[in-house]
């Protein structure tokens, strides 16, 4: 706080002894010590209050940034969800439209008349074709 060396303190003590006197000097020194302690505590409290306010301001700023980013993420997700929902609705309408057309209805009885081949049957047939065509090729 102040740059007072030992020699300056000794000079102040000698002047205080001369001015105040030896009888009242201990009481004045005690009172000055108490006042100096109170001053130091007050300065310390003010410093901690200022630091606390600065940290609070930083936290409020961080909170507002996080809320803004959360809003932007929510908004982008909402727009993506709406776009996906529109695409799904269009696909559903296209499928429903294809099923209700007369050409699709005419093809439906033939498709149901023949039993559908299972995936295993198709896979086995495809592998037989590959092996039979590979068998004629030189190695």
Cβ atoms of residues 40 and 32 within 8 Å: no
**Each residue of 87-137: pLDDT tens digit?**
999 999 988 887 776 655 555 554 444 454 455 555 555 555 544 445 555
The pLDDT value recorded for residue 132 is 46
Q: What is the mean pLDDT of residues 62-68?
A: 96
pTM of full prediction above 0.85: no
Alpha helices, DSSP H, located in the chain: 6-20, 25-100, 102-113, 119-135
Instruction: State residue 40 phi and psi, 5-degree precision.
Output: -65, -40
């Amino acid at each position: 706080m102040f740059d007072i060396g030992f020699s300056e303190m000794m000079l102040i003590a000698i002047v205080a002894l001369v001015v105040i006197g030896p009888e009242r000097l201990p009481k004045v020194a005690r009172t000055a010590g108490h006042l100096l302690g109170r001053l130091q505590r007050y300065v310390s409290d003010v410093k901690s209050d200022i630091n606390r306010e600065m940290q609070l301001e930083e936290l409020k700023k961080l909170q507002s940034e996080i809320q803004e980013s959360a809003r932007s993420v929510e908004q982008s997700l909402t727009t993506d969800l709406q776009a996906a929902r529109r695409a799904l609705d269009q696909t559903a309408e296209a499928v429903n439209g294809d099923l209700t057309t007369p050409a699709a209805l005419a093809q439906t009885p033939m498709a149901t008349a023949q039993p559908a081949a299972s995936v295993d049957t198709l896979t086995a047939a495809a592998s037989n074709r590959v092996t039979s065509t590979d068998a004629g090729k030189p190695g």
